[in-house]
């Protein structure tokens, strides 16, 4: 499993356990989509990246596509626990301007209040 999904206060928490690369994004998307179908009342998400030590452009592209899908349904997505190497990808591409990034899952959850 690449993702572990749970719900807290009606917000989906998606914990990613592997690097997000061209080799893993299909599994990531598939697992997340199955959970989203089962929990279709969830609009807002926190993506917990504490275990993601590497992300390539395919991983970033998947995050952007995910944000777009969630926004189209009237929801929002926040990123928590962004590690050093993936953070560089966000900085180089200026993706940090697109996403709200928090140090902890708790802080990201509070931002929805």
Q: What is the CATH number of the domain that holds 60?
A: 3.30.750.24
Tens of pLDDT, residues 31-53: 999 999 999 899 999 999 999 99
Q: For position 1, what pLDDT does the model report?
A: 82
How many distinct structural domains can be found in the chain?
1
Q: What is the DSSP secondary-structure string of 49-61? A: -TT---B-HHHHH
In eight-state DSSP terms, residue 4 is E
**What would the two tokens of residue 93 be?**
């591409």
Average pLDDT over residues 58-83: 96
Residue 51's pLDDT is what? 97
Supply the range of the domain harboring residue 43. 3-110
How many residues are there in the chain? Answer: 113
Q: How far apart are the first and last CA of the chain?
A: 30
Mean pLDDT (whole number) for 18-28 = 96
DSSP string across 64-98: HHHHHHHHHTT--EEEE---HHHHHHHHHTTGGGT
Using a cut of 0.85, tell me whether the model's pTM lies above it.
yes
What does the pLDDT read at residue 15?
Answer: 97
What's the pLDDT score for residue 85?
A: 95
Residue 75: the pLDDT is: 97
Per-residue pLDDT, averaged over 8-13, amounts to: 95
């Amino acid at each position: 499993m690449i993702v572990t999904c749970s719900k807290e206060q009606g917000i989906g928490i998606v914990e990613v356990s592997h690097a997000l690369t061209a080799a893993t994004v299909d599994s990531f998307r598939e697992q997340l989509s199955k959970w989203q179908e089962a929990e279709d009342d969830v609009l807002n998400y926190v993506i917990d990246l504490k275990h993601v030590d590497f992300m390539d452009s395919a991983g970033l592209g998947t995050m952007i596509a995910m944000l777009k899908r969630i926004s189209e349904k009237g929801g929002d997505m926040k990123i928590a626990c962004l590690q050093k190497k993936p953070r560089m990808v966000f900085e180089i591409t200026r993706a940090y301007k697109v996403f709200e990034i928090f140090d902890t899952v708790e802080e990201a959850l509070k931002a929805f209040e």
